[in-house]
A = this chain, B = another copy of it.
Amino acid sequence: MPETGQQVGTRQRVEDSAALLFRRQGYAATGLKQIAAESGAAFGSIYHFFPGGKADLGDHVVRRAGAAYRDLVATALGGDADPETAVLSMFDAAARALAESDYADACPIATLALEVASTDERLRMATEAVFADWVDTATAWFGQWVPRPADRDLATSLIMLLEGAFLLARAARDPGPLHIAGQSMVTLLRAHRSG
Residues of A within 8 A of B (CB): 24-29, 102-104, 110-111, 113-115, 117-119, 124, 127-128, 131-132, 153, 156-157, 159-165, 167-168, 170-173, 176-177, 180-181, 183-184, 187-188, 190-192
Contacts and interface: CB of A to CB of B under 8 A. Distances in A.
Given A26-B114, A153-B180, 15 more contacts: A26-B26, A28-B115, A111-B115, A114-B114, A124-B173, A127-B171, A131-B168, A156-B176, A159-B164, A159-B168, A160-B163, A160-B168, A162-B164, A163-B167, A164-B164
Identical copies of this chain, number: 2
Query: Per DSSP, are chain A's interface residues mostly helix, strand or loop, or mixed?
Result: helix
Contacts of A191: 187, 190-191
A127 B170 CA distance: 10
A131 B180 CA distance: 15
A118 B102 contact: yes
Contacts of A103: 117-118
